[in-house]
Amino acid sequence: MGLTRRKFLKTAGLTAGAVGIGLSGFDFKAWAEVQEDSEVVKRPSLCNVCASHCGMWIHVKNDRIWKVTGHEENGRSQGRLCPRAHGGIDWVYDPYRLKQPIKIEDDGSVRPIGWNQALDEIAERLTEILEEEGPEKVFYAHNPRRTGVFYGNRFMHALNVSTIMTHNAACNTARGRGFGATMGGVPSADIGNSKYVVMIGRNYGAGIRTSQLKAVNKAVKGDTTLVCVDPRQNETSIIADKWVPIKPGTDLAMVLAMCKVIIDDDSYNHEFIEEHTIGFDQFADSLDEYTPEWAEELTDVPADTIREMARGLADAAPAAIVHPTWKGAFGCNYENSTETARAVAYLNALLGNINQDGGLKFYNGPSTGSLDPDRYPAPSAPDTKRADGAGVEDEYPLATGHGLPHVLAERIKEGRVKAGFVRHHNPVRNFPDYDHMEEGFGALDLLVVFETQRSETAMVADYVLPEPSFAEREEIIESRGGSRGYLAMRTQAIPKMYSKTRSFDEIIRELAVRMGVGEYFKFTMDEANAAILEPFDISLIEFKEKGSMMVDVPQPEPWPELGTPSGKFEFYSETFEKHGAPPVAGWLPPATGLEFGDNEFRLVHGKEAYHSHTATANTPQLLQITKDYDTNRLWINASVAEEMGLADGDEVKVTSDIFSDTTRIKVTERIHPETVYYPGSYGNRTFHYRVAHEIDSLNPNDFVKYQVESIVGHAMVNEVIVTVEKV
Ligand SMILES: Nc1nc2c(c(=O)[nH]1)N[C@H]1C(S)=C(S)[C@@H](COP(=O)(O)OP(=O)(O)OC[C@H]3O[C@@H](n4cnc5c(=O)[nH]c(N)nc54)[C@H](O)[C@@H]3O)O[C@H]1N2
Ligand SMILES: Nc1nc2c(c(=O)[nH]1)N[C@H]1C(S)=C(S)[C@@H](COP(=O)(O)OP(=O)(O)OC[C@H]3O[C@@H](n4cnc5c(=O)[nH]c(N)nc54)[C@H](O)[C@@H]3O)O[C@H]1N2
Ligand code: SF4
Ligand SMILES: [Mo]
């Protein structure tokens, strides 16, 4: 790695010379030239700054990262990276990165601990808890990344632990269940080939997925009509044909009214509805009161705009999309988010756009190989009850398998859960109600956090186990579908910087041996990766040179059999009915209601293009953008601000039921008058993020109390009313 032989000799000669004539004679210019001339090599990797995992090349010079560029043969990056990828280099060179395992004693004192001792102690405590309390009281939570799933889930299965959770209940659980219940899963949007696209709270300009952003650009440069419905004129609305401001939490009413327009116009796709759906008549019969005028009252979207969007979509169908979105409007935000997601699916069904060009597509992934189970036995799936109640009868039967970390926090406080493993995830900061999450996770008998920085969750852990950064480690091969599928892997780009860091797979393997389940981990990562590649005409050695490669996959057939119980699109869900939820989605107001008193607003938040959640606030390059553009401010509508006697930049006090803090305001025409907005990227509470604390900031989660949505149990992150007053 690093220097070529020629360069090495040159440097070696130079060093000898320098030593010969003493340090005062050190020829800095010659040294600098050698450094500058030394070769830059490209090593394939995957960006680690968000879950999109774009294929990247890490350019390495003298064993240090020189720069990063997008991998061309990767479905996500398609040759490009977003700004955060460059900021990710700061993670690698952060001087305060975790460099060795630490143990936090019950009195809060922190001390470094050796690996053997840490793993012995963890294994001993975990064994005790499993024996005395049972696997129902143990969990694993992560922001699911391939290696974390591969090793983490296998380890949990080996211990018969069923509570494996992700961050989804603070992201997209409602959308997942809503689309799952109606069409069997969440499809991709073929934006690049679409003629009419409505994005309801989906903001590609900031909530970036590189490949899709490219498709959006293609669409807006072509003849696609793009409409953005958002209480805020977000970064995508700026390039869209139309921004439709909406009162937050009311999208469901607008969508139901759009469905009614299309059905009343008789402009829906009869063939699809008749042959590929169930429950259409019940749905159509339920729409009587949902007129555009009714929706206008609730949403502030003019009835004519509702008709215009509905007719624009129907005219363009099937090359028309109401975007399945991600988090913004109905991922996990409101009491009505699951129903909104179902209604958005209904609207798409009326357009008959499933697996149609320019519509919604269920892509197939490449058929990869796997470890031979005779040689490398896999543990059987756990048969224990989940600790968070997700999918459990009489608890949260309709919650998804991603689980409910905020509910778990409650149960930990009640003594019902004792031990947890958290990797690449910061639930304490990223779920609403800091005190609730901190008290919950902090009350565990054993909390082991796998991290690279000392996040808020790591602050309340018993053991924090440091991984080498993404640039210093190799990982399990990933595969994804698309118009072309692809395989991709992270290879080690630079030598390990700190000898006392260990990668997740290494740690799990060692813990497994100590827990007596080592038999499930008797393979190397190379063996696992070679098995994955087996069906493809490429060796692991060759693949490690390429890093990413496109593969042909069968293309989706129009109107396929869907992954619902009936195999058809379900307007009417017997599954929902069985569990006491409405079989057909209809209007449901947000939990806070829609009445606002003086100086009261709904607080919403969202992404910024140059941060990932709150995990990048400590990176100097990215925080500099925040400082330069002064974005850590609360957006408030200009007319409202004037009435309240507030001017741009004024300091205000923001108060909810559970929290109060001050911040400066951004006065703008670009926001609905009953809404205030704060970017979600700040407000870190861990004092270890020294860069993050260079600015004053808020975190919207602080204002939102612990609450649980009634159908799928998500965290309802926008169900909060705040008052704003001048200080
Ligand atoms: N730069 C960046 N990109 C990311 C991420 C990141 O952290 N940073 N994270 C990735 C992840 S995990 C996700 S989930 C996606 C999220 O991607 P998005 O869901 O697109 O992003 P958000 O910013 O959460 O929300 C989008 C918009 O929803 C609006 N909104 C809020 N409430 C409502 C409402 O009631 N109705 C309507 N119509 N709109 C509403 C907000 O104003 C915001 O502009 O982004 C991904 N990409
Ligand atoms: N305030 C606020 N809250 C939010 C959001 C927001 O934008 N703002 N977004 C919501 C959404 S859409 C989502 S998806 C969730 C996301 O919530 P999380 O899943 O918690 O995601 P991240 O904030 O990306 O945090 C990931 C953690 O992984 C750590 N990490 C980074 N690299 C590595 C590594 O190589 N190894 C290990 N072991 N750890 C690593 C980071 O230091 C960080 O603490 O948060 C939700 N909550
Ligand atoms: S979208 Fe940006 S941050 Fe996310 S993986 Fe791709 S380049 Fe990295
Ligand atoms: Mo997310």
pLDDT at 265 over 80: yes
Minimal-distance CA residue to ligand 1 atom 17:
207
Task: Provide the pLDDT confidence category of residue 17 given band limits of 50, 70 and 90.
Answer: very low
Distance CA 193, CA 144 (A): 30
Here the contacts of 279-282 (C-beta below 8 Å, separation 24 or greater) are 279/570, 279/571, 279/572, 279/573, 279/583, 279/584, 280/571, 282/571, 282/572, 282/583, 282/584
- Phi (first) and psi of residue 211, to 5 degrees: -65, -40
Query: Is any atom of ligand 3 closer than 6 Å to the C-beta of 98?
Result: no
Query: Is any atom of ligand 3 closer than 6 Å to the C-beta of 68?
Result: no
Distance CA 162, CA 388 (A): 10
Pair 320, 258: CB distance under 8 Å: no
| Mean pLDDT value across residues 678-704 | 97
DSSP for 190-259, please give it: -GGG-SEEEEES--TTTS--HHHHHHHHHHHHTT-EEEEE-SB--TTGGGSSEEE---TT-HHHHHHHHH
Distance CA 313, CA 262 (A): 9
Q: Please, which residues bridge with residue 129 across strands?
A: none
Query: Is any atom of ligand 1 closer than 6 Å to the C-beta of 230?
Result: yes
Q: Which residues contact 549 (CB under 8 A, 6 or more apart)?
A: 73, 486, 487, 488, 536, 538, 543
pLDDT at 19 over 60: no
Task: Provide the pLDDT confidence category of residue 4 given band limits of 50, 70 and 90.
Answer: very low
Return the ligand number nearest the Cα of 45.
Answer: 3
In the prediction, which pLDDT does 3 show?
39
Distance CA 174, CA 581 (A): 13
What is the domain class of 38-95+470-503+519-555 according to CATH?
alpha beta
pLDDT at 586 over 50: yes
In the prediction, which pLDDT does 15 show?
42
Query: Is any atom of ligand 1 closer than 6 Å to the C-beta of 718?
Result: yes
Residues in the 5 Å CB sphere of ion ligand 4: 171, 327
Query: Is any atom of ligand 1 closer than 6 Å to the C-beta of 683?
Result: no
Round the average pLDDT of the chain to a whole number and report it.
Answer: 95
In the prediction, which pLDDT does 22 show?
52
Query: Is any atom of ligand 3 closer than 6 Å to the C-beta of 50?
Result: yes
Q: What number of other Cβ atoms are within 10 A of residue 429's Cβ?
A: 23
**Lookup: tokens for 158:** 């080996």
Torsion of CA 319, 324, 328, 333, to 10 degrees: 140
**What's the CATH number for 600-726?**
2.40.40.20
- State the DSSP code for 285: H
Distance CA 713, CA 173 (A): 8
Q: What is the CA radius of gyration of the chain?
A: 26
> β-pairing, 64-70 with 188-189?
unpaired
Task: Provide the pLDDT confidence category of residue 16 given band limits of 50, 70 and 90.
Answer: very low
Window from 208-222, 312-326, 399-413, 516-530 with minimum mean pLDDT: 208-222
* CA 208 to ligand 3 center in whole angstroms: 7
Pair 596, 666: CB distance under 8 Å: no
| Mean pLDDT value across residues 614-636 | 97
pLDDT at 71 over 80: yes
Atom of ligand 2 nearest to the CA of 326: 12
Minimal-distance CA residue to ligand 3 atom 4:
50
Alpha-carbon distances of 434 from 438, 461, 696, rounded to whole Å: 6, 15, 18
Using DSSP's 3-state secondary structure scheme, residue 102 falls into strand
Return the ligand number nearest the Cα of 208.
Answer: 1
Distance CA 206, CA 338 (A): 24
Q: Which residues contact 225 (CB under 8 A, 6 or more apart)?
A: 195, 196, 197, 241, 242, 312, 316
* CA 290 to ligand 1 center in whole angstroms: 27
pLDDT at 8 over 50: no
Alpha-carbon distances of 82 from 85, 172, 211, 549, rounded to whole Å: 6, 22, 10, 20
Give the residue among 720, 721, 712 at the shortest CA–CA distance from 407: 712
In the prediction, which pLDDT does 10 show?
46
In the prediction, which pLDDT does 26 show?
82
Distance CA 463, CA 450 (A): 9
The pTM score is 0.95
SS3 content of the chain, % helix, strand, coil (to 5): 35, 15, 45
Task: Provide the pLDDT confidence category of residue 614 given band limits of 50, 70 and 90.
Answer: very high
What is the domain class of 182-362+563-578 according to CATH?
alpha beta
In the prediction, which pLDDT does 18 show?
40
Where b means 16+ CB within 10 Å and e means fewer, 316-346 reads bbbbbbbbbbbbbbbbbbbbbbbbbbbbbbb
In the prediction, which pLDDT does 23 show?
59
Atom of ligand 3 nearest to the CA of 56: 7
Query: Is any atom of ligand 3 closer than 6 Å to the C-beta of 213?
Result: no
> β-pairing, 660-668 with 651-655?
antiparallel
pLDDT in tens, 210-219: 989 989 999 9
* CA 61 to ligand 2 center in whole angstroms: 29
The domain limits of the chain are 1-34, 38-95+470-503+519-555, 98-165+398-467, 182-362+563-578, 600-726
Distance CA 573, CA 583 (A): 5
Residues with CB under 6 A from ligand 2: 48, 143, 167, 170-171, 327, 423-426, 430, 450-453, 455, 467, 469-470, 605, 607, 612-615, 680, 699-701
In the prediction, which pLDDT does 29 show?
87
Single-letter amino acid code for the residue at 190 = D
From 84, 98, 424, 684, the mutation candidate for ligand 2 (largest count of ligand atoms within 8 A of CB) is 424
E runs forming strands in 110-195: 110-112, 138-142, 163-165, 188-189
pLDDT at 715 over 80: yes
In the prediction, which pLDDT does 37 show?
86
In the prediction, which pLDDT does 24 show?
65
Query: Is any atom of ligand 3 closer than 6 Å to the C-beta of 85?
Result: yes
Task: Provide the pLDDT confidence category of residue 5 given band limits of 50, 70 and 90.
Answer: very low
CATH architecture type of domain 98-165+398-467: 3-Layer(aba) Sandwich (3.40)
Return the ligand number nearest the Cα of 166.
Answer: 2
* CA 486 to ligand 4 center in whole angstroms: 22
pLDDT at 203 over 60: yes
**Cα 104 to the chain's mean position, in Å?**
28
pLDDT at 21 over 80: no
Give the residue among 432, 439, 385, 446 at the shortest CA–CA distance from 414: 439
In the prediction, which pLDDT does 194 show?
97
From 202, 421, 613, the mutation candidate for ligand 2 (largest count of ligand atoms within 8 A of CB) is 613
Atom of ligand 2 nearest to the CA of 611: 7
Helix 504-514 / helix 146-158 crossing angle, nearest 10 deg: 10
Query: Is any atom of ligand 1 closer than 6 Å to the C-beta of 206?
Result: yes
Pair 493, 472: CB distance under 8 Å: yes
Which strands, in side-by-side order, build the sheet including 478-480? 478-480, 485-488, 548-551
Q: Please, which residues bridge with residue 725 across strands?
A: 653
Query: Is any atom of ligand 3 closer than 6 Å to the C-beta of 84?
Result: yes
Minimal-distance CA residue to ligand 1 atom 33:
329
Distance CA 512, CA 155 (A): 7
Query: Is any atom of ligand 1 closer than 6 Å to the C-beta of 670?
Result: no
